[in-house]
Amino acid sequence: MRTFTLFSSVAFASTVLAHGNITSPPARQPGAAMQKVCGADAVAAVLADGTGPLENIPSSGSANCNIFLCKGAQFADNQANVQTFAAGEVVDFAAQLPIPHEGPANVSIIDLATNTVLGQPLIEFDTYADENLAVLPANNTAFSVTIPEDLGTQCQVAGECALQWFWFGTSAVQTYESCVDFVVAA
Ligand SMILES: *[C@@H]1O[C@H](CO)[C@@H](O)[C@H](O)[C@H]1NC(C)=O
Ligand SMILES: *[C@@H]1O[C@H](CO)[C@@H](O)[C@H](O)[C@H]1NC(C)=O
Ligand SMILES: *[C@@H]1O[C@H](CO)[C@@H](O)[C@H](O)[C@H]1NC(C)=O
C-alpha cells in the first residue's frame, strides 16, 4: 500500500509539475539495468516524467542504487548513447525547462565509478531557471561546454565518464540531473 501511495504521488506530479532535462546531446535513459538496481518504481517514475526532480524518484532497489548519480540511470542501458568528443571540442547542449525554479546549475565531468567531479565545472550558473524573470536567458536552454585538453588518459573508455547537468531549485528544494555518456577520442 505504501508503495502504491508513493507511486500515485509521483504519477500525479508528472502531469502537473514537469521541470526540466537535457534534450541534446542524448542523455541517459532508464531501462532494464536500472530496474534491476533501483527498482521498477524508480523506472516508472522517470518514464512518467523525464523532467521531474530526483526527490520524486523512489529508490526501492539495492544499495547500489544512487538516484543522485545520473538519476539512477545505468550505463548498461545506454551503451548506444555514448558520444565521442575530441579534447577542446565545443559541445552544444539543449535543455527544456517546462517549469523553472531559481537556483544554481552547472555541467561537470563525472568519474562514474567514484561519483566525483573531474577538474572544474565546465559551465556554472549562479542563478538558473529563475521563474521571476519574464523570459529566461537564452543560455538556460542553449549553452556550450568545451571538453578539457588536460584529461590525459581519463574518459577514453565508455562508461568511465559522463557530462552531468546538475540544477538545484533553491526554494523548491529540488534537484535535477541529466548525464551524457561520452569518451574522448584517444
Ligand atoms: C526528458 O523528459 C521527457 C518528458 O518526460 C522525456 O520524454 C525524455 O526522455 C527525457 N529525456 C531525458 C534525457 O531525461
Ligand atoms: C553543481 O551544482 C550543484 C547544484 O547547484 C551543486 O550541488 C554542485 O556542488 C555543483 N558542482 C560543482 C562541482 O560545483
Ligand atoms: C547567461 O546569460 C545571462 C544573461 O545574459 C548572463 O548574465 C550569464 O552570465 C550567462 N551565464 C553563463 C554561464 O554563461
State yes or no: pLDDT of 164 exceeds 90. yes
On whether residue 1 sits in a domain, the answer given is: no
CATH of the domain at 79: 2.70.50
Domain boundaries, position 86: 23-184
106 Cα to the center of ligand 3, angstroms? 12
Please tell me the distance between residue 123's alpha carbon and the centre of ligand 2 in angstroms.
10
Does the reported pTM lie above 0.85?
yes
Give the distance (Å) from ligand 2 centre to CA of residue 126.
Answer: 10
Count of domains for the chain:
1
User: For the residues 130-152, what does the mean pLDDT come to?
Assistant: 97
Query: Is residue 65 in a domain?
Result: yes
Neighbouring CB atoms inside 10 A of 54's CB total: 20
Q: Which ligand is nearest to the CA of 142?
A: 3
Q: What's the pLDDT score for residue 17?
A: 58
Contact 95, 21 (CB under 8 A): yes
What's the pLDDT tens digit per position in 10-58? 444 434 456 999 999 999 999 999 999 999 999 999 999 999 999 999 9
Point out the least confidently predicted range of 16-20, 80-84, 90-94, 99-103.
16-20
